[in-house]
Amino acid sequence: MFEVLQEPGSPNPLPRGAKRQRTLERPVSLSGVGVHSNVPARMTLNPAQANTGIVFAPCNAPPFAALWTNVVDTTLRTALGDGGARVGTVEHLLSACAGLGIDNLRVEIDGPELPAFDGSAAAFVEAIDEAGCMDLPASRRTLKVLHPVRVQHNGCFAEFLPAEQDLTLDIEIDFAAPVIGRQRRIFAIDSGTFRRELSRARSFGFLRDLAPLQARGLGLGASLENTVALLEDAVLNSEGLRFPDECVRHKMLDALGDLALAGAPIIGLFRSYRSGHALNVAAVRALLSDASAFRLESIGAPSPV
């Protein structure tokens, strides 16, 4: 059931088990409107040195790392902050970085939330391709799962299990509404699989939930341009779905972004049932709070200076 896809002609091929840390070759800028805030933002993805990690640099505030310790909100999106500054809806960019093997990046942003674009990670993949990727003279560090770690809440769960190599996602969702129903996918994540199977899967939501959400100040920028809008048994977007199981694929995209908050690529199996940002982040927190559950490993020797 695992799918391992080749990546013919990809501008940024990433071999499995790539050993060197990566960043962009040059800066690239994007702008758009946030799905929750409806506020426009311009962001620039800048190359960063080895061992920087992914860092957000909001206007007029100190930069902070994209780490689980800086999560400030997981309601329908993952928001990061450190003291005063906050940046919302980071998960699709982090997913693109994890999927394409970008370890180091400095993200300048002049608004409170990353732009939604089409609700998927496609715009970030395009931007990264436009900027190009380069290896850095430092070995990549990975985080290997050593024993199972599980979090659960109200019949939903998320767990890490050991695996020999790579990160495999096994994600299941279960909605009463027949338009989604029960969907499960399993993918071993490499850049080809990410591009082809996950990066274009869009955010989704039920039309019935929109007004209550907006009353809470969320979903203010939601539209058919950035969200798959659902009735109980129908898709409202005229173009329909990009995959018959686009919803679970988007949940996989989200999970990959949330797991990137561990700060290093995870080697293991991540399984979840009806999980979301809160449970994904709780699983990362549980894993990294148990020193016996993981080991940091260097998978390539640094090149001589």
Catalytic amino acids? 277
Measured from the CB atom, is 22 or 36 closer to Zn ion? 36
Cβ closer to Zn ion: 89 or 191?
A: 89
CB of residue 254 to Zn ion, shortest distance in Å:
4
Closest approach of Zn ion to the CB of residue 202, in Å: 8
Task: Provide the terminal-to-terminal Cα distance of the chain, rounded to the nearest Å.
Answer: 43
> Closer to Zn ion at the Cβ: 82 or 258?
258
Q: How far apart are CA 27 and CA 203, in angstroms?
A: 27
Residue 227 · residue 210 · CB < 8 Å: no
Sign of CA pseudo-dihedral 233, 237, 240, 244: negative
Which region among 28-36, 217-225, 249-257, 263-271 touches Zn ion (by CB under 5 A)? 249-257
Give whichever of 191 and 203 is closer to Zn ion, judged by the CB atom. 203
Which residue, 112 or 257, is less far from Zn ion as judged by CB?
A: 257
Binding mask 66-105 for Zn ion (x = CB under 5 A): ----------------------------------------
Single-letter amino acid code for the residue at 296: L
Q: Which stretch binds Zn ion (CB under 5 A): 28-36, 222-230, 240-248, 251-259?
A: 251-259
Shortest spacing between CB 92 and Zn ion, in angstroms? 6
Q: How far is the CB of 42 from Zn ion (least distance, A)?
A: 21
Cβ contacts of residue 83 below 8 Å, gap of 6+? Answer: 61, 62
Q: How many residues bind Zn ion (CB under 5 A)?
A: 2
Letters for 106-145 (x = contact with Zn ion by CB under 5 A, - = none) are: ----------------------------------------
Q: Which residue is nearest to Zn ion (CB)?
A: 254
Binding mask 202-221 for Zn ion (x = CB under 5 A): -x------------------
- Stretch of residues binding Zn ion (CB under 5 A), selected from 130-138, 156-164, 196-204, 280-288: 196-204
Question: By C-beta, is 35 or 127 nearer to Zn ion?
Answer: 35
Among 82, 190, 254, 258, binds Zn ion (CB under 5 A): 254
The contact set with Zn ion (CB under 5 A) reads 203, 254
